[in-house]
Amino acid sequence: MRIVQKEEAVMLLKQGDLVVLPTETVYGLAADGLNTDAVKKIFTAKGRPFGNPLILHVSSLEMLERLVKDISIQSKILMQLFWPGPLTLVFNRSELVPDIVTAGLDTVCVRMPKQDSTLAIIEALGKPLAAPSANKSGRPSPTNLADLEKEMPEIAVIDGGQTELGIESTVVDAREKDVKILRLGSLEVEKIEAALDEKVILIEKDSRAKSPGQNFKHYSPNAEVILIWPWETFGEKVSNENGSRYTTVEEAIADLYDRFKCGIICDSSRETLYLGYDVLPLGIGSIEHAKNLFATLHKAEDLAWEKIIVDMSKIYSKEALGPTVVERLKRSAE
């Protein structure tokens, strides 16, 4: 891994090369977003399907205005409140945006990251950066340099330490009156609804024609992830939500522990339930769960666990980042 400083990063990006940059969500694999050949290198390095469009990262509203055709009132409200930050918005694209970025769609996704060093690099380049997560396609995103080393060892990187939030941005289509969430992320849906003073529509997977990349395989470590759902939460039955073959952690342990290298991921308050077993605690509360999730999946893989048993009690939650964490875990278990 080669750590570089800002000046070199800008030079590499100018000449059409890739650089890994920290953001407040996860590390991004960045290229000059207006250079088709440079953007092509992102798809090659990640092994990413060309049908999965990229997000452009801007450092100013002037830069945004060059990339898009019109900006709705709703989008303006959200940008004013949440940029820079983990909010990606869908816009009708201008001619400036290369087809490769949008996978041929007539819309483009844009966000302004909240990371001073990355904003300064975009500013110095004078162009938006295309920057998906810096992992091989389908794998958990890197949130620290050790995990990044596993994914993109050969790409120059700006060291930003551990990323602040740990999960990608929330993707929102606010072009029309009915605002839609195309992908859950690090900005809570409640905050978006409070800002707009209206309910938003959550677009489910499989019907995500507007957010095409959502149907590709995602966030999966090199181990089987098995989610064990709580029987009841908030008086609501959620057990076996995604058809897991076990209904309790004990049942999974009894069946798997002797035959496979196994471990348990759980909310930190439940760690003592599993004394004597290999456990990776996820922290307490959805903000900590989000921050630690991908790093913990990477750690489980580093420990050569073949089966990752996730105790969803206290992780399954409808509050704050609970839905986002649950969505990422479900995808990693698919």
Q: Which stretch binds ligand AMP (CB under 6 A): 66-74, 191-199, 205-213, 305-313?
A: 205-213
In the complex with ligand AMP, the residue whose CB is nearer, 68 or 279, is 68
Contacts (Cβ under 8 Å, ≥6 apart) of 327: 184
The answer to whether the beta carbons of residues 44 and 100 sit under 8 Å apart is no
For ligand AMP, which residue has the nearest CB? 213
Q: Which stretch binds Mg ion (CB under 5 A): 128-136, 142-150, 178-186, 195-203?
A: 128-136
In DSSP notation, 152-205 reads -TTS-B----S-SS-SPPEEEE-SSSS-EEEE--SS-HHHHHHHHTS--EEPPT
DSSP summary character for residue 222: S
Q: Which stretch binds ligand AMP (CB under 6 A): 105-113, 150-158, 242-250, 320-328?
A: 105-113
- Rounded distance between C-alpha atoms, residue 73 and residue 190, angstroms: 19
Q: Pick out residues in 234-253 that bind ligand AMP (CB under 6 A).
A: none
* Residue type at position 197: D
| 88 lines the binding site for Mg ion (CB under 5 A) | no
The distance of closest approach from Cβ of residue 133 to Mg ion in the complex, given in angstroms and rounded to an integer, is 3
Contacts (Cβ under 8 Å, ≥6 apart) of 293: 140, 166, 167, 282, 325, 328, 329
| Residue 82, Cβ density class (10 Å: 0-12 exposed, 13-18 middle, ≥19 buried) | buried
Pairing of the two strands 262-266 and 279-281: parallel
Stretch 6-35: interaction string toward ligand AMP, x if CB under 6 A: ------------------------------
Q: Which stretch binds ligand AMP (CB under 6 A): 53-61, 142-150, 156-164, 308-316?
A: 53-61
Interface pick for Mg ion out of 23, 35, 59, 133 (rule CB under 5 A): 133
In the complex with ligand AMP, the residue whose CB is nearer, 133 or 286, is 133
Interface pick for ligand AMP out of 55, 67, 226, 321 (rule CB under 6 A): 55
- Phi/psi of residue 324, nearest 5 degrees: -65, -45
Interface residues with ligand AMP (CB under 6 A) are 52-55, 90, 102, 105, 107-109, 132-133, 168, 171, 182-183, 210-211, 213-214
